[in-house]
Amino acid sequence: VQLVESGGGLVQPGGSLRLSCAASGSIFTFYRMGWYRQAPGKQRELVASITRDGSTNYAVSVKGRFTITRDNAVNTVYLQMNSLKPEDTGVYYCHGKAPGDDYWGQGTQVTVSS
């Protein structure tokens, strides 16, 4: 299964973006899917995750601003990002966790700047 992200770009502070992660196969392959981000010079960190049954988890820094959802019909996971801040800048990676395996997308750049 391959994961392909899209939706990144340049946005002003306070703006919104929606990232998409399309899987080449069924996302039921993964018991959890998530979005990670990596800022320059920093470690990759978990932003949000969602399980097969729809339970979600968010980093404290994005809680209340970001929403992760999944559409099983089109094998896609989304990350709606609102009230973006400069510190949200980074490369955002889609991740899928399957028994014994981790899958990653190639990443999409998000830049929040005026």
pLDDT score at 22 = 96
pLDDT score at 114 = 95
Which residue type occupies 1? V
* 107 pLDDT more than 90: yes
5: exposed, middle or buried (Cβ count in 10 Å: 0-12, 13-18, 19+):
buried
pLDDT score at 29 = 86
Confidence bin at 105 (pLDDT 50/70/90): very high
Average pLDDT of 36-53?
96
Which residue type occupies 88? D
pLDDT score at 39 = 95
Confidence bin at 27 (pLDDT 50/70/90): confident
pLDDT score at 25 = 86
**Per-residue pLDDT reduced to its tens digit, 53-77:** 999 999 999 999 999 999 999 999 9
Euclidean distance between CA atoms 69 and 46, whole angstroms: 15
pLDDT score at 87 = 96
